[in-house]
A and B are shown apart, each in its own frame.
Chain A
């Protein structure tokens, strides 16, 4: 039987695809609500902050254009830089703690069954409490007289007399960090858990047959395959910690000796205590740039090296 003749050689011209303009506009209509939201709650405030940062902007009175003066002043502002150093220190502690604990929790609640579902919920529960209420609870627990930790440590004979854990930097810092881990680990657990569940069990079984121990499977199968959700968790944890404010404001009030003032705390003080709104805006813009750079670096570090080939 003769094969079907091939006509591809004899085609001279292909008619141009018809344009469908109306469709283009309908598409825009569908994304319009999202665009409006992004504009109203992100782009416009961002533009206003940048605009304000070029002014001396008091709460009452007329703003005055001062160009880059705010940024020049920021360069020599040691209180800002020490706040930044403290924030980075806190970010490292909180991120390592959060992701480490979240990983362990996610591995623990991976299976199925009623008890596991209960634990999953229990670990997630603190996430839905507000940061302010959690901080208030912790401030009370940490109170030297009326709280739990100090009297308990004394009653158990771990300390001689009452020790005020909020009075010195190290215990105060770790107390807040542990509170944050307690409150937020469940959130990162869910992200990592979803990554773990997306790994087909076949891979683990194939690796078991290949003779890989639990540790080898974790290192060579699990870790590489949850890189994407892990990158998400890392970026959220770093950004969240860099923006820390409530817990240090409520529990420690920036103390002891102003050692726990974070960058956002400084911005808050400049803008709403000293009412230097223009300078506060300049600090916000710098923080935004720092966060942007950090996120890009993290994405680059966690990129899939094989994807480019």
Chain B
């Protein structure tokens, strides 16, 4: 438990212990263990179909776990009704009740709990104020824009005053510009409310910008848990390395030999690997860590296929000697026409090595 802000409210944490989930004979989630501190913003990220939504629905209580325990605020809620878990959920579709006004949507949880009318109005108005929805309280969801609907869905969650907010791909139905705007809004809400938030997305950019802690999932397993820096700089395996970061990390087949590596017949200083001194590895280097070799420096050749000028940076796409695709992020000074062959290299401290199973060797 940690303390947020100066009113020192203690917010709730969330733990998953050995959680399994099967639909029939298909095991969708396998042995999920996770500890989330109170007030943390946690993002579940992974390719679609990996089980992110299912995990979120298990936390919400909309699905039952096949095995394992779910603990919210120190209370075992594994068999508790969704409404008594202290959670609120924002659905991908928003799931706003189409026949109710914005105010009725936001106040529905209080209405079913038979709270007094003035309490209901006060809470709805407060949430509407936070989300700039005050002028829309009488409208139906059908009369709102995508971004406004999104805010109503968040408002409905806020009114419940939950310990934990759950978001399932809340921005996927918005256009690119609005998505950035809502991302900032959600980050602001987290700062202001200080609640624990669990956020599901398949978009690593959203994960990187929002999360205190990122949980990378693949095929029903947790691949790695860490801060954005930890995942970016120190990935545990080739999947996390490739999934986090845009443009993607480059991977080359290489031979490790002593302190050096060999790529397509070119030898250059290699990464510091303690557990392995000789053998075939996959070498990972991020695009921004590849640079042009100075005269006399060791290098490997890179043939430019095309260049993408983005103002601040230029991305060079091409391949290296053995045909592996490669991207280089360079500054705008680097003018490179298609077909040009460049001599490139990377600092050994920016190289990561993976064994034949894709596991990081350190």
User: Which residues of chain A from 195 to 217 have any CB-CB distance to chain B below 8 Å in the complex?
Assistant: 200, 202-203, 205-213, 216
Q: If the complex has contacts A202-B91, A306-B140, are A212 and B99 also in contact, measured as CB distance less than 8 A?
A: no
Could you tell me the distance between the alpha carbons of A206 and B154 in the complex, rounded to whole angstroms?
Answer: 12
Say how far A118's CB is from chain B's closest CB, in angstroms.
Answer: 20
* Residues of chain B with a CB closer than 8 A to A224's CB: 99
Could you tell me the distance between the alpha carbons of A212 and B95 in the complex, rounded to whole angstroms?
Answer: 15
A209 to B140, Cβ gap below 8 A? no
Q: If the complex has contacts A208-B83, A209-B82, A209-B87, are A225 and B99 also in contact, measured as CB distance less than 8 A?
A: yes
A208 to B82, Cβ gap below 8 A? yes
Q: Is the interface of A mostly helix, strand, loop or mixed?
A: helix
* Residues of chain B with a CB closer than 8 A to A191's CB: none
* Residues of chain B with a CB closer than 8 A to A306's CB: 99, 101, 140
A208 to B97, Cβ gap below 8 A? no
* Residues of chain A with a CB closer than 8 A to B108's CB: 207, 210, 212, 220
* Residues of chain A with a CB closer than 8 A to B81's CB: 208
Check if A221 is an interface residue, CB within 8 A of chain B: yes
With beta carbons under 8 angstroms apart, the residue of A207, A209, A216 that contacts B88 is A209
Q: If the complex has contacts A202-B93, A306-B140, are A208 and B112 also in contact, measured as CB distance less than 8 A?
A: no
User: Which residues of chain A from 122 to 153 have any CB-CB distance to chain B below 8 Å in the complex?
Assistant: none
Q: If the complex has contacts A205-B62, A208-B62, A208-B82, are A213 and B112 also in contact, measured as CB distance less than 8 A?
A: yes
Q: Say which size band chain B's interface belongs to.
A: 20 to 34
Could you tell me the distance between the alpha carbons of A209 and B95 in the complex, rounded to whole angstroms?
Answer: 12
Could you tell me the distance between the alpha carbons of A169 and B97 in the complex, rounded to whole angstroms?
Answer: 48
Say how far A225's CB is from chain B's closest CB, in angstroms.
Answer: 6
Could you tell me the distance between the alpha carbons of A102 and B243 in the complex, rounded to whole angstroms?
Answer: 52
Could you tell me the distance between the alpha carbons of A213 and B87 in the complex, rounded to whole angstroms?
Answer: 17
Could you tell me the distance between the alpha carbons of A205 and B81 in the complex, rounded to whole angstroms?
Answer: 12
A211 to B88, Cβ gap below 8 A? no
* Residues of chain A with a CB closer than 8 A to B83's CB: 208-212
* Residues of chain A with a CB closer than 8 A to B160's CB: 209-210
Say how far A303's CB is from chain B's closest CB, in angstroms.
Answer: 12
With beta carbons under 8 angstroms apart, the residue of A205, A211, A213, A304 that contacts B95 is A205
A211 to B112, Cβ gap below 8 A? yes
Could you tell me the distance between the alpha carbons of A225 and B108 in the complex, rounded to whole angstroms?
Answer: 16
Could you tell me the distance between the alpha carbons of A304 and B83 in the complex, rounded to whole angstroms?
Answer: 30
* Residues of chain B with a CB closer than 8 A to A200's CB: 93, 95
The total of Cβ contacts below 8 Å across the A-B interface reads: 63
Could you tell me the distance between the alpha carbons of A210 and B88 in the complex, rounded to whole angstroms?
Answer: 8
Closest to A219 in B: B112
Closest to A305 in B: B99
With beta carbons under 8 angstroms apart, the residue of A211, A213, A221, A304 that contacts B109 is A211
Could you tell me the distance between the alpha carbons of A206 and B90 in the complex, rounded to whole angstroms?
Answer: 8
User: Which residues of chain B from 135 to 159 have any CB-CB distance to chain A below 8 Å in the complex?
Assistant: 138, 140, 156
Interface size in chain A (residues, C-beta < 8 A): 20
Check if B310 is an interface residue, CB within 8 A of chain A: no
Could you tell me the distance between the alpha carbons of A309 and B138 in the complex, rounded to whole angstroms?
Answer: 10
Closest to B159 in A: A210
Could you tell me the distance between the alpha carbons of A166 and B82 in the complex, rounded to whole angstroms?
Answer: 54
Could you tell me the distance between the alpha carbons of A205 and B108 in the complex, rounded to whole angstroms?
Answer: 13
A225 to B87, Cβ gap below 8 A? no
Q: If the complex has contacts A200-B95, A224-B99, A306-B140, are A209 and B89 also in contact, measured as CB distance less than 8 A?
A: yes
B95 to A202, Cβ gap below 8 A? yes
Interface string of A64-95 (1 = CB under 8 A from B): 00000000000000000000000000000000
Check if B113 is an interface residue, CB within 8 A of chain A: yes
Closest to B162 in A: A209
User: Which residue among B87, B97, B101, B140 has the maximum number of chain A CB atoms within 10 Å of its CB?
Assistant: B97
Could you tell me the distance between the alpha carbons of A216 and B95 in the complex, rounded to whole angstroms?
Answer: 17
With beta carbons under 8 angstroms apart, the residue of A205, A216, A225, A309 that contacts B112 is A216
* Residues of chain B with a CB closer than 8 A to A206's CB: 89, 91, 95, 97, 156
User: Which residue among A207, A210, A221, A225 has the maximum number of chain B CB atoms within 10 Å of its CB?
Assistant: A210
Closest to A307 in B: B140
Could you tell me the distance between the alpha carbons of A306 and B88 in the complex, rounded to whole angstroms?
Answer: 27
User: Which residue among B61, B84, B98 has the maximum number of chain A CB atoms within 10 Å of its CB?
Assistant: B98
Say how far A309's CB is from chain B's closest CB, in angstroms.
Answer: 8
Say how far A221's CB is from chain B's closest CB, in angstroms.
Answer: 6
Closest to B62 in A: A205
Q: If the complex has contacts A224-B99, A306-B99, A306-B140, are A209 and B93 also in contact, measured as CB distance less than 8 A?
A: no
User: Which residue among A200, A205, A224 has the maximum number of chain B CB atoms within 10 Å of its CB?
Assistant: A205
Interface string of B52-79 (1 = CB under 8 A from A): 0000000011100000000000000000
Could you tell me the distance between the alpha carbons of A121 and B83 in the complex, rounded to whole angstroms?
Answer: 36
Could you tell me the distance between the alpha carbons of A309 and B82 in the complex, rounded to whole angstroms?
Answer: 35
Say how far A114's CB is from chain B's closest CB, in angstroms.
Answer: 14
A-B contact pairs, 19 of them (CB 8 A): A202-B91, A202-B93, A205-B62, A205-B89, A206-B91, A206-B156, A207-B108, A208-B82, A209-B87, A209-B109, A210-B109, A210-B112, A210-B156, A212-B83, A212-B108, A212-B112, A220-B112, A225-B98, A309-B140
Measuring CB to CB, which residues of chain B are less than 8 angstroms from any residue of chain A? 60-62, 81-84, 87-89, 91, 93, 95, 97-99, 101, 108-109, 112-113, 138, 140, 156, 160
Give the 3 A-B CB pairs with smallest separation, nearest first: A211-B83, A202-B95, A210-B109
Other A-B pairs, 8, CB within 8 Å; known A205-B82, A208-B82, A306-B140: A200-B93, A203-B95, A209-B61, A209-B62, A210-B160, A212-B108, A220-B97, A220-B108
